[in-house]
Amino acid sequence: MKDIEIVLENLSSKGIKVDQTQKLFLEAFLRMDSKYKPPSLFNKKNNKGNCYLWGQVGRGKTLLLDAVRDVYFAESGRFH
């Protein structure tokens, strides 16, 4: 599994430094991702294919989700 360092490195290369709260989100999201199992015909209750992040305006929600998507889900879509 890719870890948080890759996401942080990509952000850092763009001159972006995340704060502690943003880093906590990334850690929690990547923990959740490690428990994710792709949808199965036999086990539909584990299908967790969407993520919604709520918070104050200007906190970097879109930036963080885009950074995670770029590393983990480069070919996926995004709705904002």
Residue 28: per-residue pLDDT = 86
- C-alpha separations of 49 from 19, 20, 40, 45 in Å: 27, 26, 12, 11
User: Tokens 């015909």 — which residue?
Assistant: 41
Domain ranges of the chain: 4-72
User: Tokens 């889900």 — which residue?
Assistant: 73
Contact predicate 27/38, CB 8 Å: no
Of 69, 64, 23, nearest to 50 (Cα)?
A: 69
6-22 pLDDT per residue, tens: 889 999 999 999 999 99
Tens-of-pLDDT digits for all 80 residues of the chain?
A: 467 888 899 999 999 999 999 999 888 887 876 665 555 666 666 555 666 788 899 999 989 988 888 887 777 766 66
Contact predicate 11/18, CB 8 Å: yes
